Chains A and B, each alone.
Chain A
Amino acid sequence: MTAKPPFIPPPHFTLHPTNLPLPPTTPPPKMKILTTNYLTCALRACKSHPSSFPLHFRDAELQQDSLPFNAAFIANILPRIDWPALLTTATELGFTGLPAEKPDLLATAEMEADEGVGRELHRILLETQVVEGKLVCGNCGHEYAIHQGIANFLLPGHLV
């Protein structure tokens, strides 16, 4: 009986560099504040109730990053934003630099200026992430936990 020939891996067996486990280049992203512009209470009965939007932050732990200013993004996203809701959320989190009324579409040059609404929006919308805390419904008081930047909207069995 002859011994098995040594196994020579065919070319496609070569471990391609992209298949090697690599550590992520940046830490995992966490919930952005703008997310609350799109969230409401998971309870169907609350959904039509005005006080269920926006949900209110409680015990929020924020992470502040430094990112290059993106004037185009701010200008483009602005029309989409529910301003009163963002204002409420921002104020609850201690950001007091936003005007009461949604500003007009700002010229890019104007936004590039060091101070002003554009920079404040950039700080709130892009540079701030929510790491821990709770989102609370203003109608029923239900609390949705945020842990490691991930909000959990699964309801306990008796509420589904």
Chain B
Amino acid sequence: MLPTPTTSHLSFDHIYEPSEDSFLLLDTLTLQSPFLHTRFPPTSPPLVLELGSGSGVVTSFLTTHSATLFGHSSITTLSTDISPHAPNATNQTVAANITKESGCFLGAIRTDLATGLRSGVVDMLVFNPPYVPTEVVEDGNGEEGWIGVACGGGIDGMEVTVRVLKGLKEYLSERGVAYILLCERNKPEFVAEQLRNGEYGVKWIVKKVGTSGKKGGWEVLGIWRVMRW
């Protein structure tokens, strides 16, 4: 396994600390590397976008380990987050982990999901959503502040994720691929079927490419890969 980027320079008062879900995403992306090599060769390098980058551990991982994951260092990476704390945290984490062999990090942007991005430019999208079922999707003013925004996904924990799934056909390039984390309470099999049968505007090809496994039947996490072809 590739080394996990260090985040020890951050305090986690307002930023979601890398946890089991983050690490599952990193492990899954590592296992996807043969697929990424084929899909995104150096002659046609990908623009990688992480939504809700938080600490920046995933964006840093992809940027730093570009040569291993993609087979070259010509990838460009971009991250967004709605939290006022996250873009700076992501920048710091990239700075703390970047090497001469890294891909090109274009910057961290403060925005709501992919708002402000041009249509069809994203080749690889990575999203560890706020997936915990909550009464409402918070706005940063709740008891848990911006951590609450990072975790709480409203009804079925899917309110934010549904907005991303609806936006995929707009965000992604023709060859675009999205990696999205879902937990068992998000009803992932049902969501996958909706994606496949065109309820999100395109008949997406969907595959579960990573799983945390059963833990007493509780909080099983999965990584789902979504693409046009």
A: which residues have CB within 8 A of B?
Answer: 18-32, 34-35, 38-42, 47, 53, 68, 70, 72-73, 76-77, 79-80, 125-126, 144, 148-155
Contacts and interface: CB of A to CB of B under 8 A. Distances in A.
| Most B-side CB within 10 Å, residue of A29, A126, A149, A152 | A29
Contacts of B91: 28-30, 149-150
B110 A76 contact: no
Interface string B77-95: 0100010000110011011
Interface in B131-180: none
A27 B9 CA distance: 12
Given A22-B9, A31-B106, A38-B106, 10 more contacts: A28-B88, A28-B95, A29-B98, A30-B91, A35-B107, A68-B100, A72-B72, A151-B116, A152-B110, A153-B109
18 contacts: A18-B8, A20-B8, A21-B9, A22-B8, A26-B98, A28-B91, A29-B105, A30-B91, A31-B106, A38-B47, A39-B116, A42-B115, A76-B44, A76-B72, A150-B107, A151-B107, A153-B110, A154-B115
Contacts of B107: 29-32, 35, 149-151
Given A24-B95, A76-B42, A53 B105 contact: no
Give the size category of B's interface with A. Answer: 35 or more
Given A25-B95, A30-B91, A35 B78 contact: yes
B118 A38 contact: yes
A87 B116 CA distance: 20
Q: Which 4 pairs, one residue from A and one from B, show the smallest C-beta to C-beta distance?
A: A153-B116, A153-B111, A28-B91, A76-B74
